[in-house]
């Protein structure tokens, strides 16, 4: 845009020199030839084309000096492309015109030539600075995006490490309670039971029985707490990965896209179903590849287990619609687990064996 504005200024300045020319066709020819050549140079933007056309126009100026009046317009393009030879040849045509038409008015043509070179230099330098600024801005924006992504990854890693440390601490506390407090309570319950057995005094029988009941309730509470701590510390991704690692004889593909806070019932349901499905593959299928996919959707959790094997006709019973009914104990256990969470289980036995499980979030 800046180049077009500069050229418009030069066209207006050069047009002033056409006013004294009396011949009707010559001013038009001078204007159109210079304007057309300048447009072609701008549009084609090839150094060779500018070089050849600039020399031809300089020869035209030598033959018809009046064409030299618009050379300041063309100097702008010559300088922009660094064609110093063309500038020198064209400038000699300007000098020839000035020698033939010497007057204070015509000598301002030299001033316009200098203005053209200055405008070309200024605009070129401005465009270079603009490009540098855009590049710096883009690089800065890219670096900011990289920094934001790294900060995000760092925060996620930090959150994961904190979560992992919390789970490890829960496991440690559960083990400590189970190994120490639980054993001490168990020993106390046995000792109280022994005292009740050997005790002959009736007035101690009721207090000892109450003490035993209290210890039994404390033991049940500790067992429940230990179970809850351990259950919360189970990582679904790690548990499923560990299960698949036990089946290294198969090509396994594991895709997981679920958060860390999957409800406990869903975690145990998916782990149990995956165990049963892997066991069934070993027993009933000739598969070589197993694919397990766990995903979170806006309203439900989904588990998909597929293999590329085929099973015998005796392994499954089919409904009238061709859907496997699966009367085996393992598949029935899967259905019961999923139904307990108001989920849906679908089985497909064409082109491999596929199990689709969906458990809604609101009832999980």
End-to-end Cα separation, the chain, in angstroms: 63
Q: Is the pLDDT reported for residue 304 higher than 90?
A: yes
CB atoms closer than 10 angstroms to residue 179? 10
Look up residue 135 and give its two tokens. Answer: 């590049």
**Helix, coil or strand: residue 21:** coil
| Beta-carbon contacts of residue 53 (< 8 Å; ≥ 6 apart) | 37, 40, 41
What is the reported pLDDT for 319? 38
Q: How far is the C-alpha of 165 from the C-alpha of 159, rounded, in Å?
A: 10
CB atoms closer than 10 angstroms to residue 46? 13
Q: Given pLDDT bands bounded at 50, 70 and 90, which one contains residue 345?
A: very high
Interstrand relation of 251-257 and 289-296 (parallel, antiparallel or unpaired): parallel
Judged by average pLDDT, the poorest of 260-269, 271-280, 353-362 is: 260-269
Q: Which residue has the higher pLDDT, 76 or 304?
A: 304
Q: Given pLDDT bands bounded at 50, 70 and 90, which one contains residue 290?
A: very high
**Helix, coil or strand: residue 232:** helix
Q: Indicate if the alpha-carbon torsion angle 218, 219, 224, 230 is positive or negative.
A: positive
70 neighbors 31 (Cβ within 8 angstroms)? yes
Q: Is the pLDDT reported for residue 322 higher than 50?
A: no
What is the reported pLDDT for 303? 94
* Listed residue (219, 223, 146, 217) closest to 187, CA to CA: 219
| Beta-carbon contacts of residue 222 (< 8 Å; ≥ 6 apart) | 177, 178, 181, 182, 185
pLDDT tens for each residue of 239-259: 888 888 888 888 999 999 888
Q: Is the pLDDT reported for residue 133 higher than 70?
A: yes
CB atoms closer than 10 angstroms to residue 170? 17
pLDDT tens for each residue of 204-234: 778 878 887 887 887 777 776 666 555 555 6
Q: Ranked by mean pLDDT, which of 126-135, 222-231, 330-339 comes out on top?
A: 126-135
Q: Which residue has the higher pLDDT, 320 or 137?
A: 137
Mean pLDDT of 116-143: 89
Judged by average pLDDT, the poorest of 7-21, 122-136, 245-259 is: 7-21
Three-state secondary structure readout of 125-163: HHHHHHHHHHHHHHHHHHHHHHHHHHHHHHHHHHHHHHH
What is the reported pLDDT for 170? 67
Phi/psi of residue 190, nearest 5 degrees: -65, -40
- Angle 143-147-152 from CA coordinates, rounded to 5°: 150
Phi/psi of residue 165, nearest 5 degrees: -65, -40
Q: How far is the C-alpha of 327 from the C-alpha of 47, rounded, in Å?
A: 82
What is the reported pLDDT for 321? 32
Q: Given pLDDT bands bounded at 50, 70 and 90, which one contains residue 294?
A: very high
Q: What's the DSSP call for residue 200?
A: -
**Helix, coil or strand: residue 191:** helix
**How many distinct helices (H) and strands (E) make up the chain?**
11, 5
Q: Which residue has the higher pLDDT, 109 or 24?
A: 109
- For 212-260, where are the E strands, in sequence order? 251-257
Q: Which residue has the higher pLDDT, 33 or 24?
A: 33
What is the reported pLDDT for 231? 53
Q: Indicate if the alpha-carbon torsion angle 115, 116, 117, 121 is positive or negative.
A: positive
What is the reported pLDDT for 325? 46
Q: How far is the C-alpha of 68 from the C-alpha of 57, rounded, in Å?
A: 9
Q: What's the DSSP call for residue 249?
A: T
Q: Given pLDDT bands bounded at 50, 70 and 90, which one contains residue 328?
A: low
Mean pLDDT of 127-132: 89
What is the reported pLDDT for 282? 86
Q: Is the pLDDT reported for residue 291 higher than 90?
A: yes
Q: Which residue has the higher pLDDT, 222 or 159?
A: 222
**Helix, coil or strand: residue 20:** coil
What is the reported pLDDT for 306? 92
Q: Given pLDDT bands bounded at 50, 70 and 90, which one contains residue 292?
A: very high
């Amino acid at each position: 845009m800046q180049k077009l504005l500069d050229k418009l200024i030069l066209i207006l300045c050069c047009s002033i020199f056409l006013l004294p020319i009396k011949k009707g066709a010559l001013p038009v020819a001078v204007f159109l030839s210079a304007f057309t050549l300048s447009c072609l140079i701008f549009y084609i933007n090839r150094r060779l084309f500018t070089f050849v056309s600039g020399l031809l126009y300089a020869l035209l100026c030598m033959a018809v000096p009046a064409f030299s009046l618009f050379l300041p317009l063309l100097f702008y393009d010559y300088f922009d492309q660094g064609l110093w030879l063309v500038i020198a040849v064209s400038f000699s045509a300007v000098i020839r015109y000035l020698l033939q038409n010497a007057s204070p008015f015509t000598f301002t043509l030299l001033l316009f030539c200098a203005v053209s070179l200055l405008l070309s230099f200024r605009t070129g330098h401005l465009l270079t600075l603009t490009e540098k600024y855009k590049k710096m801005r883009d690089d800065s924006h890219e670096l900011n995006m990289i920094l934001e992504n790294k900060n995000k990854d760092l925060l996620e890693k930090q959150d994961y490490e904190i979560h992992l440390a919390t789970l490890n601490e829960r496991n440690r506390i559960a083990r400590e309670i189970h190994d120490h407090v639980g054993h001490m309570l168990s020993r106390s319950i046995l000792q109280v039971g022994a005292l009740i057995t050997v005790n002959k005094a009736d007035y101690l029988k009721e207090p000892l029985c109450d003490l035993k009941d209290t210890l039994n309730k404390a033991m049940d509470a500790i067992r429940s707490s230990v179970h809850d701590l351990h259950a919360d510390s189970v990582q679904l991704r790690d548990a499923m990965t560990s299960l698949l690692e036990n089946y290294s004889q198969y090509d396994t593909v594991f895709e997981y896209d679920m958060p860390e806070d999957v409800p406990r019932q869903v975690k145990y349901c998916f782990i149990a179903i995956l165990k049963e499905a892997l066991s069934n593959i070993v027993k009933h299928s000739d598969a070589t590849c197993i694919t397990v996919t766990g995903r979170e959707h806006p309203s439900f959790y989904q588990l998909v287990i597929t293999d590329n094997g085929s099973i015998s006709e005796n392994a499954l019973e089919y409904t009238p619609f061709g859907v496997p009914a699966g009367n085996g104990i393992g598949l029935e256990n899967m259905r019961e687990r999923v139904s307990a969470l108001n989920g849906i289980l679908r089985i497909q036995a064409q082109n491999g064996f596929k199990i689709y499980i969906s458990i809604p979030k609101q009832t999980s």
